């Protein structure tokens, strides 16, 4: 089946729109691009604000039936990072960050929000939402949440060219994920893992500080502290400031 592509001047949220359509029975694979979102959503219920013109916001919705779902957000991150720039890394579970010349985290370039519609069964309607900074956002920099944009890495980066690269990579990655799961992405993720071997702070009260040691075959983050190894399958971590 083909993919319909739709560009809207303004929506509440491209994810919300595609989830709503799926709920009403429209499961046509669709790439929905918005020039402006007035109720963009980030992970963990946070709002997602992006500057119109300086960023790219789109969602890809399609039915999927992989054998296992674990690691889907990492697979999406790998596909986008590989398609867009060698200096992009994935910050578990699904942020795109840039690194400086020494490989140190520089700033967040984009975010991924994956949502599904349908019962917990083998097949669900998946909506992969992506927000990417192309140019410098107008907001004042916040040292606790450093921001990055693609034009810093690539003088020639534009939103339309980035959309073509990102969407093509995403469609291919979702097909591969359906056939082979996270196994097809694990090595590629390792090469782009922002947190690997870094000291991180987690949101889990029993695990305030630990060292990141990659992910398991389901994409869960592996952490080590003085008490041993731990597995984090959801939540939030931040790189500990040195």
Tokens of 150: 């693609």
Q: How far from 153 is each of 3, 87, 99, 109, 193, CA to CA, in Å?
A: 30, 8, 10, 11, 18
To the nearest 10 degrees (0 to 180), the angle between helices 72-84 and 159-180 is 140
Give the nearest distance from C-beta 22 to ligand BTN in angstroms.
14
Say how far residue 235 (Cα) sits from the centre of its chain. 14
Residue of 21, 41, 124, 188 interacting with ligand BTN (CB under 6 A)? 41
Distances (CA, A) of 167 to 56, 67, 95: 11, 23, 17
Q: Which of 23, 46, 108, 175 is catalytic?
A: 108
204 as an active site residue: the answer is no
Q: Which of 46, 68, 180, 240 is catalytic?
A: 240
Of 36, 43, 151, 204, the active-site residue reads: 43
Q: Is 196 a catalytic residue?
A: no
Q: Given candidates 6, 27, 43, 151, which one binds ligand BTN under the rule CB under 6 A?
A: 43
- DSSP β-ladder status, 88-91 and 199-202: unpaired
Site string for ligand BTN, 51-80 (x = CB under 6 A): ------xxx---------------------
Which sign, positive or negative, has the C-alpha torsion 163, 168, 172, 175? positive
Residue nearest to ligand BTN (CB): 111
Is 91 an annotated catalytic residue? no
Q: Contacting ligand BTN (CB under 6 A), which of 37, 117, 162, 202?
A: 37
Q: Does 192 bind ligand BTN (CB under 6 A)?
A: no
Residue 209 CB coordination number (10 Å):
12
Closest CA to 5 of 117, 160, 121: 160
Does position 105 interact with ligand BTN (CB under 6 A)? The reply is no
Burial call 55-70: b when 16+ CB within 10 Å, e when fewer: bbbbbbbbbbebeebb
CB-CB contact of 115 with 106 (8 Å): no
Does position 193 interact with ligand BTN (CB under 6 A)? The reply is no
Determine, following the binding rule CB under 6 A, whether residue 36 of this chain makes contact with ligand BTN: no
Nearer Cβ to ligand BTN (47/122): 47
Residue 122 vs 160, nearer CB to ligand BTN: 160
Residues at the site binding ligand BTN, with contacts judged by CB under 6 A: 13-15, 37, 40-43, 46, 48, 57-59, 95, 111-113, 129-131
Q: Mind telling me the catalytic residues?
A: 43, 108, 240
């Amino acid at each position: 089946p083909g993919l319909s592509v739709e560009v809207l001047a303004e929506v509440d949220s491209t994810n919300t729109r595609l989830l709503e359509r799926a709920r009403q029975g429209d499961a046509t694979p669709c790439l929905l691009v918005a020039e402006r979102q007035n109720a963009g959503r980030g992970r963990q219920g946070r709002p997602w604000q992006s500057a119109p013109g300086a960023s790219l916001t789109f969602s890809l919705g399609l039915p999927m039936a992989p054998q296992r779902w674990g690691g889907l957000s990492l697979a999406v991150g790998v596909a986008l990072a590989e398609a867009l720039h060698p200096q992009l890394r994935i910050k578990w579970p699904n942020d795109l960050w840039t690194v400086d010349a020494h490989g140190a985290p520089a700033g967040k370039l984009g975010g991924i929000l994956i949502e599904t519609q349908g019962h917990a069964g083998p097949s669900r309607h998946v909506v992969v939402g992506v927000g990417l900074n192309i140019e410098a956002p107008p907001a004042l920099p916040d040292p606790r949440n450093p921001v990055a944009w693609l034009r810093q890495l690539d003088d020639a980066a534009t939103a339309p060219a980035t959309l073509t690269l990102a969407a093509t990579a995403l469609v291919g990655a979702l097909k591969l994920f359906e056939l082979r799961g996270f196994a097809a992405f694990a090595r590629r993720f390792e090469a782009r893992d922002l947190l690997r071997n870094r000291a991180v702070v987690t949101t889990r009260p029993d695990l305030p500080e630990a060292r990141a040691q990659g992910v398991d075959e389901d994409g869960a983050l592996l952490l080590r502290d003085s008490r041993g190894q731990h597995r984090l399958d959801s939540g939030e971590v931040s790189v500990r400031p040195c």
